Amino acid sequence: MATKKGGKKLVTVRRGTRLLPIVLIAMFACGGSNLFRTFRVALAASGPLINSLVASGALKPTDATLITQDFSDGVTCADDLQRGFAAIPKDDPNAKSAKLKVSVAGLRCFRAIAARHNFEKNPRVKNVADIADGILASLVVFYSEPGEMVLSTRSRGPAPVDEKALEAKLKAQVKELEQSLKP
């Protein structure tokens, strides 16, 4: 849907995205299972940034539509990631390899979207996509066996030693994602 404002065409988004900081903090406080939902919410809240870039003339409305679709597709990747992790029994002796498989699928899903090159149409949007990629790459690195996976250049810092450390690292990365999404 598009709206005219001051002669410029804007991509409209759902109301309530200004609550993102509160939602992110609340979801992380509830534990790891909400981590993927938080990631999904962050990707879904890209609208205000995209709208501000269109309004400022930094992004064409046609590019904004493509980028909005790519973020929407990224939300689908996050949904699949959340469902995949939820399906792994807590007492599964092969949980780590199952989590690796789900994490790799999530990273591949997002990278396929990034390969469309729509995120590259604006440096701020590309930064958001790079942070999201880094979050997914962190999951892959964490669940890989030592030496099995080389740390992604987009993932920041050394791999965490346990799931609590991973959650803390991802929390910091999602906070960075949140900051980069501010208009």
pLDDT band at residue 160, thresholds of 50, 70 and 90? low
For the segment 139-160, the average pLDDT, to the nearest whole number, is 61
- Return the number of other C-beta atoms located less than 10 Å from residue 180's C-beta: 19
The one-letter amino acid at 71: F
Whether the predicted pLDDT of 173 surpasses 60: yes
For the segment 9-26, the average pLDDT, to the nearest whole number, is 35
85-133 residue pLDDT tens = 999 998 999 998 999 999 999 999 999 999 999 999 999 999 999 989 9
Provide the whole-model pTM: 0.69
53-68 residue pLDDT tens = 999 999 999 999 999 9
Question: Token digits for 35?
Answer: 């981590």
CA–CA distance, 43 with 55 (Å, rounded to integer): 20
Among residues 129, 116, 3, 126, the alpha carbon closest in space to that of 54 is found at 3
| φ/ψ (deg, to 5) at 153 | -65, -20
Q: Quote the mean pLDDT of the chain.
A: 76
